[in-house]
Structure 1
Amino acid sequence: MIRSELVAAVAETHPHLSAREAERVVGTIFESIIDALADGRRVELRGFGAFSTRARDSRTGRNPRTGEAVHVDAKRVPHFKAGKDLRERLNR
């Protein structure tokens, strides 16, 4: 599912919302999740899962084309852990 399909599903499920309003709702949810993760907070959606960040240390990588060693800076990456209800529905 892509973002536009999600917006269409929200608009279809809630007929009192226009497509533009449904797009704003979906955008607001995504922006809230992104802002919380950027601030170092965890986002938990009960039954669905939890978003958090993980720290990656700096390391020496390789350029696949030349094989040359390349320095890769430390960074934070997003992490998702599926909730119990989601795991159960996937494994029925």
Structure 2
Amino acid sequence: MTKKEFVVDIAEKGEIAKKDAEKFVNLFLDTVTDNLEKGNSVGFVGWGKWEVTERSAREVRNPQTGEKMQVKAKKVVKFRVGKSLEEKVAKSKTKKKSK
């Protein structure tokens, strides 16, 4: 689902204008982003949690050449799914996407 499709879905389910739904989605994303940039985690009980973690420097191999390379340490965002959402997804029937 793209951001545009997400906005349309919010607008339809919330019975609000697409413009208002887009404003809400942008505010939500900006708030999550701002908090992650500050190093704060963002979580919703039962749904999931975004958090910033440190990935240490390490040595890797280029799979095509076998050459060893160094990867610098960096911060990454991880999402951990909540139990309630995990259970709902596990119980849901899988739908194939039609093209």
Give the TM-score of the pair, scaled to structure 2.
Answer: 0.80
Code of the residue aligned with 2:11 in structure 1: it is A
Q: Which residue of 1 aligns with 2:44?
A: 45
2:54 is the alignment partner of 1:55: yes
- Sequence identity of aligned pairs in percent? 34
Instruction: Structure 2: state its 5+ residue gaps.
Output: 92-99
Instruction: Structure 1: state its 5+ residue gaps.
Output: none
Q: Secondary structure at the match of 1:33?
A: helix
Q: Which residue of 2 aligns with 1:82?
A: 81
Deviations 1:26-66 (A, max 9, x none): 11111111111111111011221111122111112223333
Give the TM-score of the pair, scaled to structure 1.
Answer: 0.85
| Separation (CA, whole Å) in 1 of partners of 2:38 and 2:83 | 26
Root-mean-square deviation (CA, aligned residues, Å) is: 1.5
| Separation (CA, whole Å) in 2 of partners of 1:26 and 1:72 | 34
